[in-house]
A = this chain, B = another copy of it.
Amino acid sequence: MTSQPTTVSVGYETLRDFIQSALASQGLPEGDAFKVASLMAEADMQGSDGHGVIRLPQYIKRIRAGGINKHPQIRVVHERPGSAVVDGDNGMGHLVVSQAVDLAIEKARHCGVAWVSTRMSNHAGPASLYSRMPLQHDMLGLYFAVGNANHLPPWGGTDMLLSTNPISAAIPGAQEAPVVLDMATTVAAYGKVKAKAKRGEQMPVGWMIDRQGQPLTDPNRAGEGFLLPIGDYKGYGLALIVGLLAGTLGGGAMGRDVVDFNADHVSTTNTGQAILVIDLSAFGDPAVFKQAVDKLVGDIRNSERLPGVDRIWLPGEQSHLRRERYEVQGIPIAPGLLTELDALARELNITPLLQESPA
């Protein structure tokens, strides 16, 4: 008997609990496992499906290989009223960064603005997970990170000294959903290249070039080339600045020191991230600001469109609508991923994501 593979959907809690039990099975303290699992499931909820549960097998591999400290002493190593450096002691990135964001929120309340850098952190999921955290406090967030593998050479070069170093910003509206930007400084993130390969599709010209500078469109040859930055030399400059701010400033890895965590599960990555939090009330009445955001959002959404364009989107709007849909319908888990997670559950001897698998 054969059955067509179909995409199943799971609720947020189901997904979170599965991730938690996987992490706890490897010796992560229950509270930490819950925290990481909540953030990973939240990543899937907002549609950042390259950064949610799909990463679980890799995280588990690293934990088992000893590449993660399961009992980190996350601590502040430098501090001023509006700034800090948080040393993550090689703990799970989600724990390190969320602690850094909490500290930044507290500091911004007093100083109006706060910047907290991490070092000795790890991959922490999608950037917008963290830039969004200040929103509920009537604050806005900016987040910068050093990517966990170098795929980008300097402009004109072939030596991959830079990563896709992402930038995220989250800015609250009043009635409107927040404006949330979450972007790699490359034209395509590397995950999109892998997805093209998986689907047997070619990449558009402009995503990658080979070592002769020629367009590379076969995603199976991705290893022979590198990603292109947005806006040519401008994106190279942005990736470099983001890396200096998120990595070098706080003592995190940058340039040649960046560990490719897809290939190496043991070496300490010394990942660096940075969060900037701004308290709206330090700049006037937050309600006035949020109304101005709504007005601008409305002006943009209702503005005149190019022929053939159905709708003008705001950054983060599609993710917002997806989250609302997933809250009702559940989070879709692709058949291939479900198979992988089932195998992981057997390996870890935990209850699978779907207790009764379809016959």
Contacts and interface: CB of A to CB of B under 8 A. Distances in A.
A158 B248 contact: no
A303 B154 CA distance: 8
Interface string A14-35: 0000000000000000000000
Interface string A296-316: 100110011111110111110
A244 interface: yes
Contact of A244 (B171, B211, B306): B171
Nearest to A303: B159
Interface in A301-335: 303-309, 311-315
A234 interface: yes
Interface stretch (A74-82, A191-199, A336-344): A74-82
A306 B181 contact: no
Interface residues of A, number: 79
A306 B212 contact: yes
Interface string A128-171: 00000000000010000000000001111111010000010101
B85 A110 contact: no
Interface in A229-287: 230-231, 233-238, 240-241, 244-245, 248-251, 254-256, 276, 278-280, 282-284
Contacts of A54: none
12 contacts: A78-B282, A82-B112, A82-B113, A113-B115, A154-B303, A156-B311, A157-B305, A181-B238, A230-B230, A236-B315, A240-B300, A276-B276
A249 B10 CA distance: 39
A354 interface: no
A177 interface: no
Contacts of A46: none
Contact of A161 (B236, B282, B300): B300
Given A111-B81, A241-B179, A278-B249, A306 B171 contact: no
A158 B306 contact: yes
Interface in A47-72: none
